[in-house]
Amino acid sequence: MVDNRTIIHVENLKKDFGKLEVLKGMSIDIEEGEVVVLLGPSGSGKSTFLRCLNQLEHATAGTIVIDGNTVTDKHTDINKVREEIGMVFQHFNLFPHKTVLENIMLAPVELKRMKKEEAKEKGMKLLKRVGLEAKADAYPSQLSGGQKQRVAIARALAMNPAIMLFDEPTSALDPEMVGEVLNVMQELVSDGMTMVIVTHEIGFAREVSDRVVFMDDGAIVEQGRPDEIFNNPKETRTIDFLKKVL
Amino acid sequence: MIAIVQTYGSMLLGALGKTLLLTLLSLVFAMIVGMIFALMNVGKNRAFNLMGTVYVDAVRGVPLIVLAYFIYFGIPAGIKMIGIQDFRLTALQAGTIALAMNCGAYMAEIIRAGIESVDKGQMEASRSLGLTYGKSMLLVVLPQAIRTMIPSIINQFIITLKDTSILSVIGFPELTNMGKTISGNTFKSLETWAVVGVMYMVVIVTLSKVAKRVERRVNRGR
């Protein structure tokens, strides 16, 4: 069952870093429950696009509407909207001075969404979900890369977000740890989470995504169902890129 | 030397107490001043950035002794000019202000460097969860920054303790000032200054040993 409600609406998004134009007018609509994979060569603006969605980067021009909130409007309380958007980073960015459980509990408790006990229970439930309940009291430095990234996913889920953003979640991992992280992400897909994923894992994209968006040079070149894009790409730039990575 | 210690021991210890009091008071205020200007410097507000830079440059560009004279003599004179007659600062008040301003500028640089040593991803991860800039700074960035700052803060503590001796020029009865008095009365310069020097040294070496231990303890949980 596909729900047809648009949860992310992006119109003519532009982002400059000084003189460098990274996004040159991007428009896309993403539906609730949709899993979108962004592909493209490095420097194509995939990560910047993702970071604009939760305003870690401020758009130079254009409009972004997340679940009815225009985040590009200065009057929008961006902190409120961010509670709705979980983000997972390439380098995990766990808080090294807090235990695994404290990492997960921080936002729910500080933002007064949950009492401490409740947040702890929720945290343990999430850790169980990513298979790490035994590591609740460990510090991030005691975990492997794959474990760190699973904790980071649990942390991002603690606020019950409607959308999850993944910025190359497996790129900093040793090859043998990629699978455990992809498995957790796959479960989120099964749960119907709206997900926007920047990744180079073509196999994963082919298997779980509803739509593949190929970007180059700050704009969308081509998009479609994964089998269309991977089996019958139409644009030369897409064909060239896929030749290199497949 | 023994004669000096026997006769003036308790006075010297009292003066050492005053030195420590001045150091501690100054450090407490310097931490506050340093934190404020460091936060101004690392933020995105251009006006605050400028204020932070101007403060640090101004204070670092003026010798402590000049700053002390300015505050102790200059400020009351200035206030007199605007018509308030009986405003005076005690030597302790003026000394604390001068040291806190001076030390605060260095502290601001230490804290700024500490904050900037924390990976940018930490702030981003915290903000992405919906925490405000202030909460992210307080709960995520500063606790990590403080660990890297501790050696420099200890160093600054020791420098400030030594700098208190400069304030003997405005007549605050700290250890160096007491040394001046005693050597003037006894004409035993060698003995007096040897005793005073050893007293400073004992306190500073002890402090740095204690501080090392604290540093190790803080680092353990990393």
* Structure ipTM: 0.93
Longest Cα separation, chain B: 69
Longest Cα separation, chain A: 55
Query: Residue B214 has what pLDDT?
Result: 77
Nearest CA in chain A to B138: A110
Q: What is the pLDDT of residues B127-185, one digit of tens each?
A: 999 999 999 999 999 999 998 888 888 889 899 999 999 999 998 999 999 999 999 99
DSSP H stretches of helix in A63-192? 78-83, 100-110, 116-129, 145-157, 175-190
A54 to chain B, any CB pair closer than 8 A? The answer is yes
Instruction: Say whether A57 sits in a helix, a strand or coil.
Output: coil
Determine whether the interchain pair B222/A85 forms a contact, defined as Cβ–Cβ distance below 8 Å.
no
What is each CA distance from B12 to B89, B163, B183, B193, in whole angstroms? 24, 18, 12, 11
Determine whether the interchain pair A110/B221 forms a contact, defined as Cβ–Cβ distance below 8 Å.
no
Query: Residue A1 has what pLDDT?
Result: 45
Contact residues, chain A, for B135 at CB < 8 Å: 110
- Helix, strand counts (H, E) of chain A: 9, 10
CA distance A56 to A162: 18
What ranges do the domains of chain B cover?
A: 2-221
Contact residues, chain B, for A158 at CB < 8 Å: 129
pLDDT (tens place) for every residue of chain A, 246 residues total: 445 799 999 999 999 999 999 999 999 999 999 999 999 999 899 999 999 999 999 999 999 999 999 999 999 999 999 999 999 999 999 999 999 999 999 999 999 888 999 999 999 999 999 999 999 999 999 999 999 999 999 999 999 999 999 999 999 999 999 999 999 999 999 999 999 999 999 999 999 999 999 999 999 999 999 999 999 999 999 999 999 887
CB nearest to A56's CB, from B124, B143, B144: B124
Is B2-221 CATH 2.170.270.10?
no
Distance from CA of B212 to the nearest CA of A (A): 20
Do A76 and A135 meet the contact criterion of CB atoms below 8 Å apart?
no
Listing from the earlier edge strand, what are the strands of the sheet with A211-216? A85-88, A163-167, A194-198, A35-39, A211-216, A219-224
What phi-psi label fits residue B61: left (phi over 0), alpha (psi between -120 and 50 degrees) or beta?
A: alpha
Determine whether the interchain pair A94/B126 forms a contact, defined as Cβ–Cβ distance below 8 Å.
no
Contact residues, chain B, for A87 at CB < 8 Å: 125, 128
What is each CA distance from A189 to A34, B94, B124, in whole angstroms? 9, 66, 25
Cross-strand pairs, B164: none
CA distance A145 to A157: 19
B216/A63: higher pLDDT: A63
The predicted model scores a pTM of 0.87
Contact residues, chain B, for A141 at CB < 8 Å: 222
Nearest CA in chain A to B122: A93
Query: Residue B217 has what pLDDT?
Result: 77
